[in-house]
Amino acid sequence: MDFFSSPDLWVAFLTLFALELVLGIDNVVFISILTGRLPEHQRPKARFVGLSLALVLRILLLMVASWIIGLKSTLISIGDASALQLSGRDLILIVGGAFLVYKAVTEIHEKLEGVEEHGSDGTPGTASKSSTFARVIVQILLIDMVFSLDSVITAVGMVDQLYIMVAAVVLSIGLMMVLAGRISAFVNEHPTVKMLALSFLVLIGSTLLAEGFDVHLDKAVIYGPIAFAIAVEALNLTYRKRQAARRHQPASDPVHLHSKYEA
Task: Tell me the pLDDT band of 250, cut-offs 50, 70 and 90.
Answer: low
Using the predicted structure, report yes or no on whether residue 55 has a pLDDT greater than 60: yes
Distances 256 to 141, 195, 203 between C-alpha atoms, Å? 29, 12, 24
Say how far apart CA 206 and CA 204 lie, in whole Å. 5
Q: Identify whether the C-beta of residue 87 lies closer than 8 Å to the C-beta of residue 73.
A: yes
The pLDDT of residue 109: 83
What would the DSSP string read from start to end of 106-128?
A: HHHHHHHH----B-TTS-BT-S-
Say how far apart CA 130 and CA 74 lie, in whole Å. 41
- What residue type is assigned to position 24 of the chain? G
Q: Identify whether the C-beta of residue 136 lies closer than 8 Å to the C-beta of residue 45.
A: no
Closest Cα partner for 28 from 167, 140, 168, 136? 140
Tens of pLDDT, residue by residue over 131-145, are 578 888 888 888 787
Say how far apart CA 168 and CA 3 lie, in whole Å. 13
Say how far apart CA 38 and CA 260 lie, in whole Å. 8
Using the predicted structure, report yes or no on whether residue 207 has a pLDDT greater than 80: yes
Read off the pLDDT of each residue in 197-213 and give the average, rounded to a whole number.
82
For the chain, strand residue ranges (E) read 74-78, 84-87
The pLDDT of residue 100: 79
Tens of pLDDT, residue by residue over 112-162, are 776 554 444 444 444 444 457 888 888 888 878 777 777 777 676 666 677
